[in-house]
């Protein structure tokens, strides 16, 4: 075990806040991102920028989930707009990617085990979230046990700790925490449905992810620029 933490870094506001939380805790960091065929693949550029600025190593793991399908994020199915489905009980939206966080956490766990990392940070959030089952604390608690049983690390009693610092925060609280930690929020990317405009990817401002993010900044009472609220455009070529 050493002073390393593995951070799952999508490039969005939540995972970027996690990255800075882990850094504040004193860890050296390996950030792990997934190139999974997501329609908002430009988030990987945001992740690379964030890792570089934070002084973290950055590993991008390819795992093509388009071959599995079943989600609007990895197929031609349209992404919902207008936010009508947000917060509806038992509504798993079409942007759900089958057991995505189970797959991503398993891969991150392998990275952590190989490097003998002390902790894994994942920015899941069960308050202002999109209704994904794999963002809830009961899933994480169960994953801890399963991964310990599956791993050499677990059999030897030196499992990496799985930390979910944002799980019980509202989006407004996450927005405030991001500002406190001086996360460069304009460099994060949240939008599920990037538009291309004049050689740049631009947030749509109207998918569930954009709406939840902008509501968070509004409820936090933060008067920010549009680029901070939705994320700045990213060069597409």
Instruction: Give the residue among 27, 5, 8, 28 at the shortest CA–CA distance from 17.
Output: 8
105 to 75, 76, 122, 124, 164: CA distances (angstroms):
22, 26, 8, 11, 12
Which CB, 27 or 96, lies closer to its own copies? 96
Which CB, 154 or 194, lies closer to its own copies? 154
Which CB, 152 or 235, lies closer to its own copies? 152
User: Which tokens hold the place of 192?
Assistant: 């599920």
Sites of contact with its own copies (CB under 8 A):
59, 61-65, 67-70, 90, 92, 96-103, 106-107, 109-111, 113-114, 133-134, 136, 138-139, 142-143, 145-147, 149-152, 154-155
Could you tell me the smallest distance in angstroms from the CB atom of residue 27 to its own copies?
A: 19
Could you tell me the smallest distance in angstroms from the CB atom of residue 160 to its own copies?
A: 11
Could you tell me the smallest distance in angstroms from the CB atom of residue 178 to its own copies?
A: 26
Which CB, 47 or 185, lies closer to its own copies? 47
Strand pairing class (195-197; 119-121): unpaired
Could you tell me the smallest distance in angstroms from the CB atom of residue 141 to its own copies?
A: 9
For residue 6, which phi and psi values (nearest 5 degrees)? -95, 125
Radius of gyration for the chain, computed over Cα atoms and rounded to the nearest angstrom: 17
| Integer Cα distance of 120 and 137 in angstroms | 15
Could you tell me the smallest distance in angstroms from the CB atom of residue 43 to its own copies?
A: 19
- Residue corresponding to tokens 């002073």: 3
Which CB, 92 or 195, lies closer to its own copies? 92
Could you tell me the smallest distance in angstroms from the CB atom of residue 72 to its own copies?
A: 13
**How would you class 60 by CB atoms within 10 Å of its CB: exposed for 0-12, middle for 13-18, buried for 19 or more?**
middle
Task: Tell me the torsion sign for CA atoms 149, 150, 155, 161.
Answer: negative
| DSSP-assigned letters across all residues of 2-42 | -SEEEEE--SSHHHHHHHHHHHHTT-EEEEEEEES--TTTT
Which CB, 69 or 195, lies closer to its own copies? 69
68 to 28, 109, 197: CA distances (angstroms):
34, 22, 30
Which CB, 69 or 82, lies closer to its own copies? 69
Could you tell me the smallest distance in angstroms from the CB atom of residue 104 to its own copies?
A: 9
For residue 24, which phi and psi values (nearest 5 degrees)? -60, -30
């Amino acid at each position: 075990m050493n002073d390393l933490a593995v951070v799952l870094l999508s490039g969005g506001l939540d995972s970027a806040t996690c990255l800075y939380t882990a850094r504040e805790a004193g860890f050296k960091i390996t950030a792990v991102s997934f190139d999974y065929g997501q329609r908002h693949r430009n988030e990987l550029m945001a992740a690379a920028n964030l890792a570089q600025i934070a002084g973290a190593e950055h590993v991008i793991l390819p795992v093509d989930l388009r071959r599995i399908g079943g989600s609007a994020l990895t197929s031609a199915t349209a992404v919902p707009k207008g936010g009508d489905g947000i917060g509806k009980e038992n509504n798993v939206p079409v942007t759900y990617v089958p057991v995505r966080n189970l797959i991503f956490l398993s891969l991150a766990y392998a990275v952590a085990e190989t490097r003998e990392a002390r902790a894994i940070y994942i920015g899941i959030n069960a308050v202002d979230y999109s209704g994904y089952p794999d963002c809830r604390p009961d899933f994480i608690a169960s994953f801890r046990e399963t991964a310990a049983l599956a791993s050499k690390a677990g059999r030897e009693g030196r499992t990496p700790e799985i930390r979910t610092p944002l799980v019980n925060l509202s989006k407004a609280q996450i927005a405030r925490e991001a500002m406190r930690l001086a996360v460069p929020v304009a460099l994060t990317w949240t939008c599920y449905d990037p538009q291309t405009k004049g050689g740049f990817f631009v947030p749509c401002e109207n998918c569930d992810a954009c709406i939840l993010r902008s509501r968070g900044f509004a409820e936090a009472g933060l008067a920010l620029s549009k680029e901070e609220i939705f994320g700045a455009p990213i060069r597409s070529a």
